[in-house]
Amino acid sequence: MIRVKEVSVIGDDGEHLGTIPTEEALSMAEDRDMDLVEVAANSNPPVCRIMDYGKHKYKASKKAHEAKKNQKIVHVKEVKFRPNTDQHDFDFKLKHVQRFLENGDKAKVVIFFKGREIVHREFGQKVLERVAEQTEDIAVIEQTAKQEGRTLVMILAPKSFKTKKGSPSKNPKPAVDKAEEKTDVPETQAAPKKTSEETSTEAVVPNNES
């Protein structure tokens, strides 16, 4: 499949063998019971390497498998507040936000406005500011307050990602949505009929960079 007349060849030991006619390079690879693999097609002449291609593919597959084993699933947990949430409800829901962050998950804090409450957006803003202040030791603001329809949304990310067993994860990368789960979070312990929705979005994040 290498159609050029000559190539720049690198030996299986990493030694540069110079520019050689392609047929001669193929013979060299066959003599060593190896393959001639093009590694830089855009070079002039193209660069080829003498290697055991089957072994190379196996190592690459094994490396990818190991990287997948070290991936961590990151969730985006959603907790809803109201612009007029009282202190009891605020403290109750804040504990959920703190727990999510301490587990290494992100927290999506949502202020939901009903009816004409939307004209007093500043009340919702104050609730978000209180949440940010109460979690500043364990979180950073990944997305500042942003209006989405009748809601005001802020996203918090943990300062240090942790697994649920408490071991730290290094170099987290931006999350990629994979699935969604929904779990009801009670509005108050005294009023179980009111619920706050908690949404989990899965994302894969490597534990360690290779």
Q: What is the DSSP string of 61-129?
A: HHHHHHHHHTEEEEEEEEEEE-TT--HHHHHHHHHHHHHHHHTT-EEEEEEEP-GGGGGGHHHHHHHHH
| β-strand pairing of 106-112 with 71-81 | parallel
**Top-confidence residue, 81 or 71:** 81
Of 68, 72, 51, 40, the C-alpha closest to 210 is 68
**What is the pLDDT, as a whole number, of residue 153?**
92
Indicate if the pLDDT at residue 85 is higher than 60. Answer: yes
Question: Which helix (DSSP H) or strand (DSSP E) does residue 25 occupy?
Answer: helix 22-31
**Top-confidence residue, 18 or 97:** 97
**What is the pLDDT, as a whole number, of residue 118?**
82
Per-chain mean pLDDT for the chain: 76
- Assign 209 a pLDDT band (cuts: 50, 70, 90): very low
Residues 6+ apart with CB under 8 A from 126: none
- The fold for domain 6-68 equals Ubiquitin-like (UB roll) (3.10.20)
CATH superfamily placement of domain 70-206: Translation initiation factor 3 (IF-3), C-terminal domain (3.30.110.10)
**What is the pLDDT, as a whole number, of residue 24?**
85
- Assign 57 a pLDDT band (cuts: 50, 70, 90): confident
Query: Where does CATH 3.30.110.10 sit in the chain?
Result: 70-206
Please tell me whether residue 171 adopts helix, strand or coil conformation.
coil
Residue linked to tokens 């409450």 = 117
Query: Where does CATH 3.10.20.80 sit in the chain?
Result: 6-68
**Top-confidence residue, 64 or 165:** 64
Q: Return d(Cα 208, Cα 166) in angstroms, integer.
A: 16
Listed range (9-13, 90-94, 180-184) with the worst mean pLDDT: 180-184
Q: Return d(Cα 190, Cα 184) in angstroms, integer.
A: 15
Indicate if the pLDDT at residue 49 is higher than 60. Answer: yes
